């Protein structure tokens, strides 16, 4: 019997799980689970670095990203949808909403194929061509619409139609190529676009709003995460920057009592 299992049995004899407070028992179980050699085996079996060398193996950073968008307990299903579009909607008789998730996924895949065509034909797109495609290939539009599908208590078909429409919301090399700008000048030019995008976001929140506030707030959270991770560099790629401190604050360091 493993040390972890021994501790679990010993605790259960003193405080049966059925008679204990669920949250207290969960807190007691977490460190015991971490002692199990197989506690992260599911992720190791996926073998991301070997099977998907084009993807970044960043499960902690990804969890931080998603939690920044949907941290409320009531959106637990949304967090699941962001990793696997599941069957739960069908059991809640909202499966027809999956049509919107499928449409944005098809739009994303088509954009990826378009980028692949550019690459294999050595075509260098204009800034306008690249920016219009990057708005799709970032995957953010797909994630935003897909996550709304899980907000079954507040989302409407009108809101989903709004999310799949043309929204108001790296091109540096293209600016340098076509406009002769330096890297710093190109970055400053793109930053102006970011400022304009935030103005559009703020405009959407002017009351009365065209879309329910809970949905607008979730869209805002997507932008907030981007601002936190990229406003002063690529903190998602370079974890040892301030992102490590954020993860430690949220998931490691306990609040002083």
Question: Is position 108 within any domain?
Answer: yes
Closest CA to 67 of 221, 235, 257: 221
Q: What is the pLDDT of residue 171?
A: 46
Residues 13, 73, single domain; the answer is no
Range of the domain at 6: 1-39
Residues 60, 123, single domain; the answer is yes
pLDDT(17) > 70? yes
Question: Is position 70 within any domain?
Answer: yes
Residues 153, 117, single domain; the answer is yes
Q: How many C-beta atoms surround the C-beta of residue 214 within 10 A? A: 16
Question: Is position 185 within any domain?
Answer: no
Residue 217 in tokens: 């707030």
| Total count of domains within the chain | 2
% of the chain at pLDDT higher than 70:
79
Residues 92, 30, single domain; the answer is no
Residue in this structure with the two tokens 């970044």, named with its chain if needed: 56
Question: Is position 175 within any domain?
Answer: no
At residue 93 the predicted structure's pLDDT band, cuts being 50, 70 and 90, is: low
Residues 115, 3, single domain; the answer is no
Q: What is the pLDDT of residue 113?
A: 93
Packing angle between helix 213-230 and helix 140-149, nearest 10 degrees?
A: 140
Ramachandran assignment for 139, one of left (phi > 0), alpha (psi -120 to 50 degrees), beta (any other): left
Of 65-74, 141-150, 214-223, the one with minimum mean pLDDT is 65-74
Question: Is position 193 within any domain?
Answer: no
Residues 108, 134, single domain; the answer is yes
* DSSP code, position 1: -
Question: Is position 98 within any domain?
Answer: yes
Question: Is position 61 within any domain?
Answer: yes
Residues 85, 129, single domain; the answer is yes
- Grouping H, G, I as helix, E, B as strand and the rest as coil, residue 211 is coil
Residues 130, 11, single domain; the answer is no
Question: Is position 191 within any domain?
Answer: no
Residues 160, 135, single domain; the answer is yes
pLDDT(86) > 80? no
Residue in this structure with the two tokens 């995008």, named with its chain if needed: 197
Residues 236, 146, single domain; the answer is yes
At residue 169 the predicted structure's pLDDT band, cuts being 50, 70 and 90, is: very low
Residues 105, 156, single domain; the answer is yes
**CATH at residue 83:** 1.10.600.10
Residues 66, 106, single domain; the answer is yes
pLDDT(121) > 90? yes
CA dihedral 232, 236, 240, 244 (to 10 degrees): 100
């Amino acid at each position: 019997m493993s040390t972890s299992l021994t501790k679990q049995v010993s605790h259960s004899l003193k405080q049966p799980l059925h008679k204990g407070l669920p949250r207290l028992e969960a807190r007691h179980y977490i460190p015991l689970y971490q002692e199990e050699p197989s506690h992260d085996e599911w992720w190791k079996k996926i073998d991301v670095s070997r099977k998907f060398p084009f993807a970044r193996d960043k499960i902690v950073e990804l969890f931080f990203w998603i939690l920044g968008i949907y941290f409320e307990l009531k959106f637990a299903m949304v967090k699941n949808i962001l990793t696997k579009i599941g069957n739960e909607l069908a059991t809640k008789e909202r499966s027809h909403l999956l049509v919107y998730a499928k449409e944005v996924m098809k739009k994303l895949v088509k954009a990826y194929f378009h980028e692949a065509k550019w690459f294999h034909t050595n075509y260098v797109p204009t800034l306008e061509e690249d920016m219009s495609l990057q708005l799709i290939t970032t995957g953010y539009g797909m994630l935003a619409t897909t996550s709304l599908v899980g907000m079954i208590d507040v989302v409407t078909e009108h809101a989903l139609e709004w999310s799949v429409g043309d929204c108001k919301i790296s091109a540096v090399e293209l600016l340098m190529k076509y406009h002769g700008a330096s890297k710093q000048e190109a970055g400053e030019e793109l930053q102006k676009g970011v400022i304009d995008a935030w103005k559009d976001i703020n405009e959407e929140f002017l009351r009365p709003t065209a879309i329910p506030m809970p949905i607008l707030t979730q869209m805002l959270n997507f932008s907030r995460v981007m601002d936190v991770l990229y406003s002063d560099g690529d903190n998602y790629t370079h974890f040892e920057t301030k992102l490590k401190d954020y993860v430690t604050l949220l998931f490691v360091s306990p609040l002083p009592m």
